[in-house]
Amino acid sequence: MAEAITERRGIPAASFVQDVQSYLTQSGLDVNSALAFLQERLQQYRVVEMKLLAQQRDLQAKIPDIEKCLDIVATLQAKKDSSEALITDFEVAEGIYSRAKIEDAESVCLWLGANVMLQYSCEEATALLQTNLENAKVSLEVLVADLQFLRDQVTITQVTTARVYNWDVHQRRLRQATTPKES
């Protein structure tokens, strides 16, 4: 039997409830408290899902940018070896472009974030960008796995909520059926 997962990277695991009566007894909750707890847990899962989806969007935007930078550095290296000048348009400000003639590019400047730019040799820039690309892809894979785990927990919690609610309805009907009716 596989060992039950209690959490994944801070996301608490939901447990499937086979026997609602036992679940309520063990948790010490009445039906309304159990339903409130499950609804609260669903809300927590939704908040985490929104954060993970935002991180996923950021990474999905970042990966093509890194790949584009790698292509640019490779183009600069190829032009450097052929001693042919590279003519390109680059964005100076939003919507404002300038044409540049790049000859013999020995180094490139990379934005590292937080208004920090550093100069690297083309080889160092390629190595750094390649590492960043690999890290971003690994992070994206982990994020996708986290989202799948989270979706499974949402489903389990929704099923548990339905089971608790249906159990309560069934118990009420049984109580009504056994209660003598007054004429």
Q: Which residue has the higher pLDDT, 182 or 60?
A: 60
**pLDDT-derived band at 1, boundaries 50, 70, 90:** very low
Please report, to the nearest 10 degrees, the dihedral formed by the alpha carbons of residues 98, 101, 104, 110 taken in order: 10
Which tens digits make up the pLDDT trace of 117-154?
A: 999 999 999 999 999 999 999 999 999 999 999 999 99
- Supply the pLDDT for residue 5: 66
| Phi, psi (degrees; rounded to nearest 5) at 152 | -65, -40
The yes-or-no verdict on residue 183 having pLDDT over 80 is: no
Helix and strand numbers, DSSP H then E, in the chain: 3, 6
Q: Which residues contact 8 (CB under 8 A, 6 or more apart)?
A: 145, 146, 149
Q: How far apart are the first and last CA of the chain?
A: 56
Q: What is d(CA 82, CA 104) in angstroms, rounded to the nearest whole number?
A: 9
- Supply the pLDDT for residue 164: 95
Which tens digits make up the pLDDT trace of 47-103?
A: 999 999 999 999 999 999 999 999 999 988 888 777 778 888 888 899 999 999 888
- The pTM for the full model equals 0.78
Size of the chain in residues: 183
